[in-house]
Every structure is written in structure tokens, then in C-alpha cells.
Amino acid sequence: MLGSRVAHISDLRGGALLSAVAGWGVKQNTLQARKYALDHGLPYLSLEDGFLRSFGTGERFPPLSVVVDREGIYYDSTGPSALESLLNGPEDLLSGLEEDVRRAKELILLHRLSKYNHAPAFDGGLLRAGDTERVLVVDQTAGDMSVRVGGADSGSFMAMLNAARAENPRATVYVKTHPEVSSGRKRGYLTDVVSDGRTVVLREAMNPMSLVMAMDRVYVVSSTMGFEALLAGKPVSCFGVPWYAGWGVTDDRQACGRRVVRRSVDELFAAGYFHYPRYLDPVLHKRGTIFDVIMWLVLQRAMAERFPGRMIGVGFRRWKAENLKPMLSLHRDGVVFVRDGEEVAQVRPEGKDRLVVWGRSVPEGVEALARGRGARVVHMEDGFIRSVGLGSDLIRPLSVVLDERGIYFDPSAPSDLEHILVTGVFDAVELERARKVRAFIVEHGITKYNHEPRERAVWSSKGRLVVLVPGQVEDDASIRLGCGAVRTNIGLLGAVREALPTAFIVYKPHPDVMSGNRAGRVALKEALRFADHVETALSVVSCIEACDELHTLTSLSGFDALLRGKRVVTYGQPFYAGWGLTEDRMQGGLAFMRRARRLSLLELVAGVLLRYPLYWDWDLKGYTTCEAVLHRIVETRTALEANGGLERLRVGYVRRQWRKAGILGRAWFLK
């Protein structure tokens, strides 16, 4: 966000290499930094959150927008700020931005976006029936710095309330308390106001924009809700001097002599939301645009609404619960973990709640309890582009799937993925996303775990057809549930050799098996009865790129091979088979009977990678996109390759166990 290397220092000695000093707002703890900057002739940068900040509040969610002000800070009316100077200047603030301003305003109003976006929409049932007019009075937290330096004090709030009542004699006055006042953490200036015949006190947390939309007029002291009301076309009266007052679009009860230019709401919006702040691109983790942040906030809102109740994890190990808890809900109290069906009953699930289980198996009594309480069972699994490192080594995932119909690897019953692929309509925009995702995956050699060496494979095939046979974990549910007569690694090797007696067959053991974490190892001597080469060093991607075709039971590497344009032959019923893109040897599979639709490769990619999984950003603490996770995979892998960390991640039983012990130790204290 700052575009420079940032040093966090506890004192200001030895600052010869500093180019600027930065602090947060105009708090008391910035005085030393400001003095140092003044004494040493350095710029002082006041930092603050932007007006579209994050899904939730600052203690849990990092900002996606900040302001960097060299003159002051926007809410301090005692002196100029860069925003005020911009608005006072001669610049045409809308030049070249007219369409962007229109579109951004439209999106903000459509999606009811505000600084924080975690609160539910305003419940219209809180409005009094028969209102002829509705006036909103916005309270703030006692001691709010924007009040103190915004030309106001505690008396300003009661004067505002009295004015709202006097100036709108036919209106019901709705007093909105601040969310931190509603939670009991702080007091507000109007905390002691109570509802009466003309007054309704709204103490519930609610989306500010949706509340403003329901009002006819808005009164504020210095709250940003006043500008959001302007965006919604509402008349606004200001009893302090917020940044948007004094430009001719508000009813100002205080004058600010420095503000001499008349500006429209669109010009204020362009200044405050385009020129003044800096935005983060959540995909690239670089400087972005307002539209990057809008799309991120819309995604967070959509994910929060997808599962509006509690996510009750049943039967999860403590380490897995620690790794997965943030991904299950954006709300602090939205996730509960219990050991079994008996404990589920104790937390009393309701209709909006989801009972989350890992994989296909559901603990005894859970399905019956869910039906009886009106809740739903959700099956959870790792996503197809998971991490740099193995899940069995407790590396936390970047993607998971949550499936209410079944689970993608169980062909005995439909899944949400199968439903998407059978019924989904993929438009040109989504297919173009799929094309770019596929190209990125192929270019960067990405697969599920991304921890193996990616050197070019050099095998002495002597011109023969090169066939890759990926090994699998033989107790894997996709094999138990989705295979017929051929269902073991050695059985698959035998079947491939029988079908292709002259081919050069390469056997690639599964990484979980090679690590010793899972069952399914085929002895080298036994594998070489059928295979010409056993590849234990290179990544599966290197092997796929060097082969002519791939034969598999149900391995995800078959999907990897399709992405890379290889012929794929299946002997089971993996999720990517039965759509006309693979040659399927198993006869009479239930899944194949359901999968009557023929798909293009890009339609398959769109369903499998864009619609079905849930992607997570551990830095930004929110849901993200497939594209963003692909970039994180490349960045992480590149950094580990540079410092030798990838090799350490891959080998060494003792090292892996030590890493597990650390995660399990943290999980022990999970609350």
C-alpha cells in the first residue's frame, strides 16, 4: 500500500535511511513520530482506513484500502488534509472517470457496501407502521477522534437530536447507535436515549446503507454514514465538520472557512473513493482499484449469506479443526466443533445451521438429528488446488469443498459438483476465466500439492508410446466407492500392460504414500513386473508433460492431464470422467449413467475449479478466487525453492513430525 519498504521501530534512533515517517491518524501515540519527522526534515504520513475497508472490523480483518495523507487526515477539520486540498483545488475530479464513478456508485448502492460489511441487512420490521416520514439520527462512540477534531463535542449530539425532532414534526426519529455500543464494548453519546412515541432507538447491528435507504432524511455529527446517505440521494444535515461538509451538498450547522469551492456529490465521491485512497488487489496482493475491493466485498457477502447459520463441525480432529475453522465462517461465533452426534444435540442446531463432516462418512445419529431439527449435513473435503505441501503433513489448505448433496469422489450418489456439471450454463465470461485459469495452471506447473521437483523428465522410451500410471492411496474413498474389478495400484499396472504390451509405462507413486503417511506402497520389484520405470523424484506434472497418455483408477492427475491436453483413460468413475473427455473402461458405473451431458474442457474447468470449491486467503482472512490461490501457490513455491524450504517440506520424517507437533500444540489450546 505504501510502495516502499516499511520498518516497524519502537524508538527513532538510527533513522538515517528513512524517507518518511508514518503513523496512524492523529492519535496521541503519533506525537513522537511527528516530532521526529519535523526535526529531521522528513515527510510525515498520516495513515487511515479507506471508506471501503473490509468485511468485518479491524481486530479481525485487515484493510483492503488505506489513505496516505501528507497534509493532515480527512476527519481532522482543525487543519487541511490532502483530501480537502484536492477538493479545494482547480482539478476536474471527474475527468476521465465519469463512467468508473457511475459504475462504482451503482455497485455500492446495489450491494449496500460500506466501510464494514458484516452486519445483516436492515430489518424492515423495525420500522413503525404508519410512518409518514422517517428521519435518521446517527450516534457515534464516546471519545471518537473524528468528533473531537471534527468541530463537535457531546453537546452536539443532543442538539442534533433536538433539531431532528423540531425540524421534522411529523416524522418518526430513528436513532442508530454505533455497533460497538450495541455490543456493550463502548458507550455512545446518545446511549441514554430511549424509545418513545416519536423516537425509535435502533441498537441492533445492521448494514448502514440498507438502513439509510429506508429513511427520508439523515442527521449526523461527523459519521461517514452521512456521505453514504448522500450517495443514496438523501438530504443530510451535519452538526460537525466531516470531510464531505462545506462543499454545498449538505445542510451545515457549522462553517469551515477553508472550503470555498462548490462540489457535487459525484465530485466528492471521485475525490474520496478514487483519488484519495489506495486499494489492494486481493488476487495479486498488489496495488489495485476500487473495483477489485468491491468485487472482494461482494464475494465475502455472498459467502456469508450462503451459510447464514452456524457451521457445526462434527468429529474433526483438533489439528484439522484449527486449520479449517476460519474457512467455515466469517463470523466470530459462526463455527462450533463437537465430537459426535451426542454433542451435536447439546448445541441444539436450528434450520439455518449446517452440520459439517469430513469426507463421506457421517457419524451415527447426525443425519437423523439434522432432519429432526431442520438442519442440513454438509460434506467437506480438500479442494483440487490445495497447498504447497501435503495435507497429511498438516499443511493448511487454500481451498476446500462444501457439498450438501454428497461429495465429488463418491460416484454412488450425486454431488453438488455433478449437479453443477449436469445443469450448469456457462457463459462466455466464465469460459474465458476458465481458459485463463487453465493456461496459468499449465504454464506454472500447478497441481494439488505443488511440493515436488519440476525438472523435465528424461526417460529412455526409445520412441515407444509413453504411458503414465499414477499410484493412489488404496484405501482412498474414491477407489473404494468408484472402482470395479481393477482397484489396486498393481492391478492397474497389470491392466495397462495387458492393454498396451509395447508401451513404455511409467509408474508414479502417490506423494502421501511416498511420505509414509498413507497406505498403498507398491514394492519396486513388484511394480517393475509391469512398469518400465518407477518415478519417485519428479512431480506428477513433470511426468504428465513427458507422457503421451495417462491411465488411472480415479486419480486427480487424470484431471491434471486433461488440462494439459493428454489422452486420459479411466478404470474407475472419477469426477472428470463420463463427460465425453476421457476414455472410460469401467462398465455399468452408476455415475456414468447419470452423466449424460457432453462437456467441453473449458466447461469442465469452470465447474470443477471456478464454481465448486471454496478458496481462502490466509493473509486477508477472507474468501477469495481460484486465480488468487494460483498466484499464492506460485509465490509460496518460488520462495521455498529459493531458500531450500521446498526440499525440507518434502523430506525428513523427523522434520515433518516436529511440524505436526507444533500444529497439534496450537490446536490443543483452540477455543
Residue 12 pLDDT exceeds 70: no
- Cα–Cα distance measured from residue 272 to residue 279, given in angstroms and rounded to the nearest whole number: 12
Query: Domain of 395: which CATH number?
Result: 3.40.1010
Residue 393 pLDDT exceeds 60: yes
Domain finish residue from 363, 379, 413: 413
Residue 526 pLDDT exceeds 90: no
Residue 489 and residue 452 share a domain: yes
**Beta pairing, strands 133-138 & 567-570:** unpaired
Better-predicted residue by pLDDT, 32 or 245 = 245
Residue 666 lies in a domain: no
186 touches 142 (CB < 8 A):
yes
Segment 52-73, tens digit of pLDDT: 999 998 889 999 999 999 999 9
Segment 454-491, tens digit of pLDDT: 899 999 999 999 999 999 988 888 899 999 999 999 99
Residue 671 lies in a domain: no
Whose CA is closest to 335, among 324, 345, 343, 346?
Answer: 324
The pLDDT value given to residue 202: 96
Mean pLDDT, the chain, whole residue set: 93
Residue 505 lies in a domain: yes
Residue 402 and residue 449 share a domain: no
Residue 516 and residue 370 share a domain: no
Beta bridge partners of 24: 47
Residue 443 and residue 309 share a domain: no
The pLDDT value given to residue 222: 97
Residue 18 pLDDT exceeds 90: no
Residue 292 pLDDT exceeds 80: yes
- The runs of H, that is alpha helices, within 459-580 are 477-482, 489-499, 511-514, 524-527, 540-546, 557-563
End-to-end CA, the chain: 33
89, 141, 145, 357 from 77: Cα distances, Å: 17, 18, 11, 54
The pLDDT value given to residue 419: 98
Residue 492 and residue 371 share a domain: no
Residue 210 lies in a domain: yes
Better-predicted residue by pLDDT, 453 or 486 = 486
Residue 588 pLDDT exceeds 90: no
The pLDDT value given to residue 517: 47
Coil, strand or helix at 448: coil
Query: Domain of 460: which CATH number?
Result: 3.40.50
Q: State mean pLDDT over 207-219.
A: 97
Residue 121 and residue 260 share a domain: yes
Instruction: Grade residue 656 by pLDDT with cuts at 50, 70 and 90.
Output: low
Residue 303 and residue 272 share a domain: no
Domain finish residue from 383, 413, 443: 413
374 touches 351 (CB < 8 A):
yes
Q: Which amino acid is at 376?
A: R
- Cα–Cα distance measured from residue 152 to residue 219, given in angstroms and rounded to the nearest whole number: 14
Residue 418 lies in a domain: no
Residue 440 and residue 383 share a domain: no
**Beta pairing, strands 311-314 & 236-238:** unpaired
Segment 99-148, tens digit of pLDDT: 999 999 999 999 999 999 999 999 999 999 999 999 999 999 999 999 99
Residue 499 and residue 355 share a domain: no
Residue 654 pLDDT exceeds 70: no
Residue 626 lies in a domain: no
Segment 619-647, tens digit of pLDDT: 999 999 999 999 999 999 999 999 888 87
Residue 478 and residue 350 share a domain: no
Helix/strand/coil percent split, the chain, to 5: 35, 15, 45
Segment 73-98, tens digit of pLDDT: 999 999 999 999 999 999 999 999 99
Number of structural domains (the chain) is: 3
**What angle (nearest 5°) sits at the alpha carbon of residue 467, between those of residues 464 and 468?**
145
Residue 435 and residue 314 share a domain: no
Domain finish residue from 252, 286, 320: 286
* Residue 571 exposure: Cα atoms within 13 Å on the Cβ side: 25
pTM to 2 decimal places: 0.92
With the CA atoms of 416, 417, 423 and 428 taken in that order, what torsion angle do they form, in degrees rounded to the nearest 10?
130
Residue 439 and residue 386 share a domain: no
CA-derived radius of gyration, the chain: 30
**Beta pairing, strands 286-288 & 133-138:** unpaired
Q: State mean pLDDT over 29-40.
A: 89
Residue 391 pLDDT exceeds 90: no
Residue 579 pLDDT exceeds 70: yes
Query: DSSP assignment of 510-533, as one string?
Result: -HHHHTTSSS-PPPHHHHTTT-SE
Three cell numbers, residue 133: 416520514
- Cα–Cα distance measured from residue 473 to residue 407, given in angstroms and rounded to the nearest whole number: 18
- Cα–Cα distance measured from residue 570 to residue 582, given in angstroms and rounded to the nearest whole number: 7
141 touches 241 (CB < 8 A):
no
Instruction: Grade residue 518 by pLDDT with cuts at 50, 70 and 90.
Output: very low
Residue 152 lies in a domain: yes
Three cell numbers, residue 199: 423516537
Q: Which domain holds residue 59?
A: 1-286
Percent of the chain surpassing pLDDT 90? 81
Q: Which amino acid is at 107?
A: L
Q: Which residue has the cell 446517505?
A: 229
Better-predicted residue by pLDDT, 389 or 49 = 49
Segment 305-361, tens digit of pLDDT: 999 999 999 999 988 998 999 999 999 889 999 999 999 999 999 999 999 999 999
Residue 531 lies in a domain: yes
